[in-house]
Amino acid sequence: MRVLSSSRSIIVYWEELVYLEAALLATDETVPLAAPVTATLEQFNTIRQRDLSTRRAVVQARARASVADSSLDEALREIHVNTLHLVRQDRSRKEYETLFPGALTAHIRHALAKQVAVARDTAERLGLSLFEDKFREVQLALLEPVIDRGEVVLSERKDAEFSRVEGRLEIETWKDEVNAVRLSVYAELLSMAAKTRRKRSWAEAFYPTASARSTRGEDEPELEPELEADQADQVDQADQVDE
């Protein structure tokens, strides 16, 4: 009753503190006990804003990664068409086999990190003396800007995911503080109840009942599925999120 599960959303934690603070301030003898509750409540807006900001940054980074991935696909497709034109549709020619040793599908529609690596490899192959300068210049003009953009987006996404992890750690620390305050206040209430020969139910009245909790709205999702994928992706060098 006094210890909230860490899986509950920070909104639920906030509601529990609001309830406890109001209950403590309702009677003169318990007003002094409200001070640590109020202090913890005052941290909520900062914690909540941090939560929203880091979530937003991750979503924005995922959106930019999707666009960057699509741009790389388009550039490679155009180079493929240009190469076919160069070899006059003869896929057995060295120029074509050098740039596209396998099917086109092996070069596109990858997760962003891998797509950048494929595009970078293609750009390096274009540097071979096998290709005329004019052909090389046209293809690199298509490829290099989207490669550069993809690498920037990957870095931004990594930073956003790291900030999100830090933000979640701050949330968990605040939740621990909330539970510590709730337990401390409860101990004080039990002590007061014993001194004034009140029943335990008097102390418990300062906390929402189980039935009151069940009638409240559903918790906000605390760990969104896409974030779980992002965190797993961090471990794997951030190369599978955008597949």
pLDDT per residue as tens digits for the range 58-87: 999 999 999 999 999 999 999 999 999 999
pLDDT at 75: 97
Provide the pLDDT confidence category of residue 210 given band limits of 50, 70 and 90.
low
Q: What's the pLDDT score for residue 216? A: 46
Provide DSSP, 32-51. Answer: GGGHHHHHHHTTHHHHHHHH
Q: Is residue 236's pLDDT more than 50?
A: no
Percent of the chain with pLDDT strictly greater than 70: 86
User: What's the CA gap between 76 and 143, in Å, rounded?
Assistant: 7
Q: Which residues contact 94 (CB under 8 A, 6 or more apart)?
A: 130
> Model confidence at 212, in pLDDT bands (50, 70, 90)?
very low
- What's residue 102's pLDDT? 84
- Is residue 243 predicted with pLDDT exceeding 70? no
pTM (2 decimals)? 0.72
pLDDT tens-digit map of 140-154 = 999 999 999 999 999
A 10 A CB-CB count for 32 gives: 10
Is the CB of residue 149 less than 8 Å from the CB of residue 71? Answer: yes
- Give the side-chain half-sphere CA count within 13 A for 88: 0
Mean local confidence (pLDDT), 24-36: 96
- Res 220 pLDDT > 90: no
Query: What pLDDT is recorded for position 227?
Result: 42
